[in-house]
Amino acid sequence: MGRTREFDTEAVVERAVEVFWRLGYEATSIQDLVAATGLGRGSIYAAFGSKDGLYAAALKQYSERSGAAMAERLDRDEPVRVVLRDLLLHLVDQTVDDPERRGCLITNSAVERLPRDRTAARVVGTSLDRTAEAITLVLRRARERGDLRPDADVTAIADFFVTTIQGLRVQGKAGADRRRLTAVVDTALAVL
């Protein structure tokens, strides 16, 4: 009973992601979100409770989608070096192809909102952990296949690549060009 909702929550959150991604949390006003989503202020508050609530929803949606995309990219039956190189180079492409240089919402959130925002801390933490786990899995398979030294510390290497990803995001924001970022990727792959 009652009036039915006129908007699609997922689509609205997607619009919110775009704004938060471009401007960050603090620099985004409710007015910006009203303009981007097409919803009235009241509807936003009825649906998400607060600016923080909508930010949390946006961060979660971004985390899930980017996590799924990354998992798909890692789930290929090719040599580790190829898989990881493609993953990192794809990230470089994303970075340099984006004229707004938004970087990664997870990274941006970590830097701008942590450790103040506990919800963001949780989402960021699990997002990075999931990425590390996914990479660990790929490394472990490679080790069993003999593609990696038998004594390779796969979790440490996975954490290393997660760190490299964060670093590339920041370097991208700082304006590094494709050549430089590609050289960094190839250097990083030398740890394997």
Positions touching a copy of itself (CB under 8 A) are 24, 26-27, 100-101, 103, 107-108, 110-112, 114-115, 121, 124-125, 128, 153, 155-157, 159-160, 162-171, 173-176, 180, 183-184, 186-188, 190-191
For DNA, which is the closer residue by CB, 45 or 160?
45
14 binds DNA (CB under 7 A): no
Q: Is 43 among the residues that bind DNA (CB under 7 A)? A: yes
* Cβ atoms 117, 176 nearer than 8 A: no
Q: Which of 51, 60, 85, 169 binds DNA (CB under 7 A)?
A: 51
Q: Which residues, other chains included, contact 142 with Cβ-Cβ below 8 Å and sequence gap of 6+?
A: 79, 80, 148
52 binds DNA (CB under 7 A): yes
Name the one range near DNA by CB under 7 A: 49-57, 117-125, 143-151, 164-172: 49-57
Is 1 buried (19+), middle (13-18) or exposed (0-12) by CB count in 10 A? exposed
Find the DSSP H helices in the chain.
9-23, 30-37, 41-48, 51-74, 80-97, 105-113, 118-145, 154-173, 178-188
187 binds DNA (CB under 7 A): no
- State yes or no: residue 10 binds DNA (CB under 7 A): no
Is 118 near DNA (CB under 7 A)? no
Q: Which range touches DNA (CB under 7 A), out of 32-40, 65-73, 78-86, 154-162?
A: 32-40
